Structure 1
């Protein structure tokens, strides 16, 4: 078994899910008392969130590179960034490492293959929905089309991710709002919807909607398990 490096804490609410699912996955595949070999650097998210709010991605990227190097130095064979938004810095992080970064776009594509979808709806932070660091590789590498909610809906999703989900607050009213947005994207042709923030899967459940969902935590864990095992 290889050793997996994880950049976590963004937020820790979903990093807990990564840890649990990785260990459960190894146990299910190998049995007995087996668990996942991993090295985690869990950051203090508040300074990163402040830098993101100030559009200071240079500082965000520098902090992530420093954390990634510490994980590599600890003996990791590969790295995952346990958040969608920070994949904005994925290319810069990979360029500073000698181990592979297992990219979220590849994980999402794997999930889309399982559902047979070619047109995806995407929910996430404003950075994820409005910039192309996920949608571009999904289109260029896998031929997948991506649609996002309208401006007002994107603002609602972004706000609730930071104000509620990252703080462990799962509100029924917010869930209902997300479901309404998802169903609207289905009407616009989305064949499956990507929960493109790792906290959204803690709020929206498959039984809440009429379309298959790609929980990016689970998809990313599947990609990581395929590598380490």
Structure 2
């Protein structure tokens, strides 16, 4: 089994989900007491949030790139950023390492296309929904992304940062998200991307009015596929 390198802490709530999923997947595939070989570097999210709010994406890229390099030096055979938003600097981070970088957008696009979806609704932070890096990359991969209207984008962003990242899961917020989904379904969305690694804490992708795609689980599955495939080849 190859060692998986995780850049986590953004937020630690979703990093904990990654850790659980990775180990559960290995146990399911290998049985008995098998668990994942991984290295987790958890950053101080507050420092990253300050950079996000200031638009200091170069600083964020340098910080995460340094973490990626440390993980590779420590023995990671692949690198993951455990955050959709911070894939805004994915190219810069990937350039800092020689091992494979597993891109959450690419893995999610592959899952959507395999399911025959063409017009997914993206629910994510404001940075992910508005900066273009996500929708542009998805478009290049053959998918036409829908995003909520401005007021709904603010609602989704605030639920993520003010509640989910702080470990709060409120039924009233789940209801708000479901109303947003219904509006976008009426506007033509054919599926839903849980495009923030915390959204799986409040929305069950298998209990939505449209097919749901949990980016956290998709990303974790790609990491385990890599780690175990490389082992099989060796």
The Cα of 1:5 is off from its aligned counterpart by 0.3
Counterparts of 2:30 and 2:206, CA distance in 1: 30
The Cα RMSD (Å) is 1.2
Counterparts of 1:100 and 1:27, CA distance in 2: 24
Q: What number of residue pairs does the alignment pair up?
A: 228
* TM-score normalised per structure 2: 0.94
Aligned to 2:231: none
- Contact 2:123–2:193 (CA under 8 A) maintained in structure 1: yes
Aligned to 1:212: 211
Q: Following superposition, which runs of at least 4 residues in structure 1 exceed 6 angstroms of deviation?
A: none
Q: Which moved more, 1:203-212 or 1:31-40?
A: 203-212
Counterparts of 2:203 and 2:184, CA distance in 1: 15
- Contact 2:13–2:165 (CA under 8 A) maintained in structure 1: yes
Structure 1 portions without partners, runs of 5+: none
Aligned to 2:44: 44
1:48-197 alignment runs, 5 A limit: 48-140=48-140, 142-197=141-196
The Cα of 1:207 is off from its aligned counterpart by 5.6
Counterparts of 2:188 and 2:182, CA distance in 1: 10
- Contact 1:183–1:209 (CA under 8 A) maintained in structure 2: no
Q: Secondary structure at the match of 2:133?
A: coil
Q: Secondary structure at the match of 1:147?
A: coil
The Cα of 1:206 is off from its aligned counterpart by 3.4
- Contact 1:123–1:129 (CA under 8 A) maintained in structure 2: yes
* TM-score normalised per structure 1: 0.96
Q: Secondary structure at the match of 1:105?
A: helix
- The alpha-carbon distance between structure 1 residues 60 and 160, as it changes in their structure 2 partners (threshold 3 A), is same
Aligned to 1:16: 16
- Contact 2:23–2:36 (CA under 8 A) maintained in structure 1: yes
Q: Which moved more, 1:84-93 or 1:216-225?
A: 216-225
The Cα of 1:149 is off from its aligned counterpart by 0.2
Counterparts of 2:30 and 2:132, CA distance in 1: 37
- The alpha-carbon distance between structure 1 residues 176 and 207, as it changes in their structure 2 partners (threshold 3 A), is farther
